[in-house]
């Protein structure tokens, strides 16, 4: 990414990025864009993921259990999702499938968990059919294990449910999402909000807005949710439904909070998807300059976080913006 100074001092905080792909979008025209300091923060956090990457690579043969536990760690998972390194860590998981001993009880459980991990990655790679059967066959092993905390068993049910939903098996999806519900007063009751998010996504997909609103009302004050990512996931679903129901201003308010969280965490895919929805909200209320700002943000992070459909969506919104507001909307 190239940075330029537009006058004044040339301190880091005064530098602004040019679009890394077309170099014709000048985000310094707008406020709240990705700054040099934000990109530096990204580099620092990515360095942490690269350290984990190196440790797993060194341990796959010499200490496969250690590598598996490190790969399945929640912190590792969040970093993978933040920076979109799905394929790289899928390679590690597949290598570990051949290096662990299925005759050993501990290894057999790790093998089942790795298959669930691959299933979760398949959701982000649009390759659900490759993992559906493997995850389904792993569930009995995980459900019967007394070595595992309840949260792992619930998570595996949630992943299988999501895979089923992507493949069109709505009844299977609902059954396994319901199985993944945590106890409201149990040790993992904080994960209840994550379950609420999954159910919101399910009801949105089914266009069951009555149950969607019922769940959103059960959540209560979303600002009190301690996990920022879960909070942003819930608000994102609410924003999408508000947009579907023809309430772009309410949707825009939700997406603004989601963008604030995604920027703070530098969750690249979160930034990308939220920017696209925020641009649609701005287009709906004819705030074209705001829509252009959101598309510029999406353009800046798309290389590391997008799928083909999002590339196409960016270009589609750009085209509509230029039709509505003229090509100068993207020019200083």
DSSP, res 32: S
Residue 32, Ramachandran bin (φ over 0: left; ψ between -120 and 50: alpha; else beta): left
Report the 10 Å Cβ neighbour count for 263.
19
Classify residue 8 by burial, with Cβ atoms within 10 Å: 0-12, 13-18, 19+: exposed
DSSP label of 16: E
| pLDDT tens digits along 22-42 | 444 344 344 445 566 666 766
> In this structure, what token pair is assigned to residue 326?
């003229």
Q: What is the pLDDT along the chain (332 residues), one digit of tens a residue?
A: 555 554 455 565 556 555 544 444 344 344 445 566 666 766 777 888 999 999 999 999 999 999 999 999 989 998 888 778 899 999 999 999 999 999 999 999 999 999 999 999 999 888 999 999 999 999 999 988 887 888 899 999 999 999 999 999 999 999 999 989 886 555 445 578 889 999 999 999 999 999 999 999 999 889 888 888 889 999 999 999 999 999 999 999 999 999 999 888 778 888 899 999 999 999 999 999 899 889 888 887 776 555 778 888 999 998 999 898 887 777 64
Residue 152 CB burial class (10 angstroms; 0-12, 13-18, ≥19)? middle
* Closest C-alpha to 22, from 275, 272, 314, 287: 314
pTM of the entire predicted model: 0.77
Strands 15-17 and 3-5: antiparallel
Q: What is the pLDDT of residue 325?
A: 86
CA-based nearest residue to 138, from 165, 163, 156, 125 = 156
Q: Where does the chain have alpha helices with state H?
A: 36-62, 64-72, 74-83, 86-99, 105-124, 132-144, 150-166, 170-179, 192-205, 209-219, 228-244, 248-265, 268-284, 288-305, 308-325
**Tally of CB atoms within 10 A around 112:** 24
List, for residues 188-214, the tens digit of each pLDDT value: 455 788 899 999 999 999 999 999 999
3-state secondary structure of 245: coil
Give the SS3 label for residue 25: coil
Residue 184: count of CB within 10 angstroms of its CB: 7
CA angle, 39 then 43 then 44, to 5°: 120
d(C-alpha 320, C-alpha 36), whole Å: 29
- Return the DSSP state at 22: T
Residue keyed to tokens 């040019």: 18
């Amino acid at each position: 990414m190239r940075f330029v100074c537009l006058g004044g001092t040339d301190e880091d905080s005064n530098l602004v990025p040019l679009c890394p792909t077309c170099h014709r979008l000048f985000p310094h025209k707008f406020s709240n864009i990705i700054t040099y300091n934000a990109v530096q923060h990204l580099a620092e956090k990515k360095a942490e993921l690269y350290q984990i990457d190196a440790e797993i690579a060194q341990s796959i043969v010499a200490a496969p259990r250690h590598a598996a536990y490190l790969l399945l760690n929640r912190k590792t998972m969040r970093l993978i999702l933040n920076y979109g390194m799905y394929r790289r860590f899928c390679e590690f998981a597949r290598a570990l499938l051949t290096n662990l001993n299925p005759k050993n009880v501990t290894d057999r459980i790790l093998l089942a968990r790795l298959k669930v991990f691959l299933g979760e990655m398949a959701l982000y790679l649009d390759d659900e059919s490759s993992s559906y059967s493997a995850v389904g066959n792993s569930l009995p092993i995980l459900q019967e294990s007394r070595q595992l905390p309840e949260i792992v068993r619930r998570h595996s049910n949630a992943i299988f449910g999501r895979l089923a939903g992507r493949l069109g098996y709505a009844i299977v999806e609902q059954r396994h999402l319901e199985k993944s519900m945590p106890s409201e007063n149990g040790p993992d009751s904080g994960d209840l909000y994550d379950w609420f998010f999954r159910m919101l996504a399910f009801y949105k997909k089914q266009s069951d807005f009555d149950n969607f609103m019922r769940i959103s009302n059960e959540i209560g004050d979303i600002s009190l949710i301690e996990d920022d990512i879960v909070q942003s996931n819930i608000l994102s679903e609410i924003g999408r439904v508000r947009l579907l129901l023809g309430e772009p201003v309410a949707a825009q308010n939700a997406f603004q909070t989601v963008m604030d969280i995604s920027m703070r965490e530098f969750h690249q895919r979160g930034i990308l998807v939220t920017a696209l929805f925020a641009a649609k909200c701005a287009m709906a209320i004819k705030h074209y300059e705001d829509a252009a700002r959101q598309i510029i943000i999406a353009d800046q992070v798309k290389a590391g976080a997008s799928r083909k459909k999002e590339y196409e969506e960016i270009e589609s919104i750009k085209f509509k913006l230029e039709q509505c507001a003229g090509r100068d909307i993207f020019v200083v």
